[in-house]
Chains A and B, each alone.
Chain A
Amino acid sequence: MNMKSIELPEKRALGNRAKAELKAIMYIVPFLIPFAIFYLWPVLRGTWISLHVWNIQGMQRYVGLDNYKRIFENSDFYKYLWNSFYFVLIGAPTVIVLGLILALIINQRIWFRTLIRSAYFLPYVLSVSVISFIWLKLFDPKNGPVNALLGLLGIHQDINWLTDHRFVWWAITIATDWWTVGFVMVLFLAGLQEIPQDHYEAATIDGAGTWSKFWHITMPGLSRVMKIQVFYQVISCLKLFGQVQIMTGGGPGDSTNTMIRYIYVTGFKKDMFGLASAQSIVFCVIMLLIAVIQFKLTDRKD
């Protein structure tokens, strides 16, 4: 009857701790619910689906690792994986270098600074379909202004930007860089503004030139932002989909078909959910490996 009054203090403390624990978790639950349903569950479910023949109607039969075997035996997989990596190799470095150059320009005391910064950043707020539409037409071989401008510069060839496999990746890169370079620039700008001004003043007194200041003060000062940028750009290049879907449809032939588009076609055009899930997992593991490698490489430098 009198249990309450003789309850041990430790026990009460335990009860209070459990209450505090519950209370803290309660504030996270609203986020956790959609997170569990639309992230954690699909991640687990995808692994399960990948072990089956599965289509829009649902599970057909269990096939073990057959889907994975099929992926690695299909030469298309290596082709599209290479395409995705190819875009990382040309897309990521160009956008980072361009973004850095624009940031260095804006960081100087130039005329109309805010206006010019806005001009560089503006394309980033447009959606992928708008930018793809615009560049689809800008690259038109007969009536497009890109070839017209090249004509003004003395290059009078009708370059088939989007249907010639020699140019198509550059066309996609130009469109993508134009679209996203403002984002890169803004991050570098924030990084530049964190470098203390007196480092430059001290270097000037020591007689350092512009180049030497750039390599010994600016670049080291930007190393953190640079790391984040490389990381982010590699992933976002690997995720390329909208631009190729709208501008080339993966063509000419299948020269701009990327991994994401491969997964999309396998799953939603060919109705092979099992195989597409296995492809997603393989691609995901590859992305994670790249992330780990980048982490290890940049960590060693510090």
Chain B
Amino acid sequence: MNKWVLNIIAIVLAVLFVFPLIWMLLVSLKPDGTNVYTMSDWVHFADLTFSNYKKVLTGSAILRWTWNSTVIGVITTLLSILLSSLAAYSFSKMPFKSKGFLFVLITSGLLIPTEAILIPLYETTLHLNLIDNMWAIILPGLTNPIGILLLKQFMDGVPKDYIEAAQIDGSGTFRIWWNICLPLTKSAMVSVGIFFLILSWNNFLWPYLTITSEENMILSAGLPTFLSNNNMSLNMIMTASGIAAIPTIVVFALLQRHIVQGVAMSGVKG
């Protein structure tokens, strides 16, 4: 009995959770101008059409924005992992005097969020001539110290013997990083990478401020322009949301185990 109640609660909650997404897709597939309000509207499938998708895809720069978001996300993630791994290697495996100071300095980056330094960050970006440039989003994205903290923990777990053996074989520090530390922290790098990718993909306020042209816009910041366009119907707005959401949903469906694990690891340790 108890078991049944629990299962039913779990399923009802799951239905409630996916309902907004199903509704979005349903509305986006209804002809432009159709209302979806009553129950009978919801289950009336005869008039479903892809015409809204065709209209949004051809009439707006949304595909371009998706591409920009992907490029920025991938570059930010790869660079972040690389820089974090190098720094983590140094903090974990090399003794040096200024270690303590530098580590505290870098971790202080966790204390002040981007939102709190918007104005000077904007000014800096302006002076570097990066406004309306994808590097304006990528470069500030590289300052998150969480990757260093996580990867350092994993590097600490790399046995000393491995490194000493490599030193005896005549490997330099760089080769030890490349041949030993990098492969042994692969799973941690995937987790950190997924975390960075989600952060970058969902970045809103900063791109909203720094990207000014339609052509360089990214998805999360470009979408609200559909709202300011007053003759957009409910169906068209949901179509735009659908186009923005579908790639993420597909990637999530394919990689859900890795994504859930990656987020759990980054969140718990961070």
Contact = CB atoms under 8 A, between A and B. Distances in A.
Interface of A: 17, 20-21, 23-28, 30-32, 34-35, 37-43, 45-46, 49, 56, 102, 105-106, 108, 110-112, 114-130, 133-138, 140, 143, 145, 148, 152, 178, 183, 186-187, 189-191, 225, 228, 232, 235, 239, 241-242, 245-246, 260, 263-264, 267-268, 273, 276-277, 280-281, 283-284, 287-288, 291
A241 B139 contact: no
A136 B228 CA distance: 13
A190 B264 contact: yes
Contacts of A280: 116-119
B267 A187 contact: yes
Interface of B: 6-7, 9-11, 13-14, 17-21, 23-24, 27, 35-39, 82-84, 86-87, 89-91, 94-99, 102, 105-106, 109, 111-113, 115-124, 126, 128, 139-140, 142-143, 145, 148, 173, 177, 198, 201-202, 204-205, 209, 219-221, 223-224, 226-227, 234, 237-238, 240-241, 244-245, 248-249, 251-253, 256-257, 259-260, 263-265, 267-268, 270
- Tell me if A's interface is mostly helix, strand, loop or mixed: helix
A130 B17 contact: no
Given A27-B94, A129-B221, A122 B17 contact: yes
A129 B220 contact: yes
Contact of B20 (A46, A134, A187): A134
Given A31-B83, A283-B116, A284-B116, A127 B244 contact: yes
Residue among A39, A119, A148 with most chain B CB within 10 A: A39
A27 B87 contact: yes
A46 B220 contact: no
Given A39-B140, A122-B17, A268-B122, 15 more contacts: A24-B95, A38-B142, A43-B112, A111-B10, A116-B11, A119-B17, A121-B259, A122-B18, A125-B198, A125-B249, A129-B221, A130-B223, A187-B267, A268-B209, A287-B113
Given A186-B267, A246-B227, A102 B120 contact: no
Contacts of B118: 263-264, 267, 276, 280
Given A228-B267, A246-B224, A45 B123 contact: yes
14 contacts: A23-B173, A117-B260, A118-B256, A122-B21, A127-B223, A129-B204, A129-B219, A129-B220, A133-B223, A133-B240, A140-B234, A145-B37, A187-B264, A264-B205
Contacts of B220: 127-130
Contacts of B119: 46, 49, 263, 267, 273, 276-277, 280
Contacts of A122: 17-18, 21, 249, 252
Contacts of A143: 35-37, 234
B119 to A, nearest CB: 5
Nearest to A34: B142
Contacts of B105: 40
A114 B238 CA distance: 28
B94 A42 contact: no
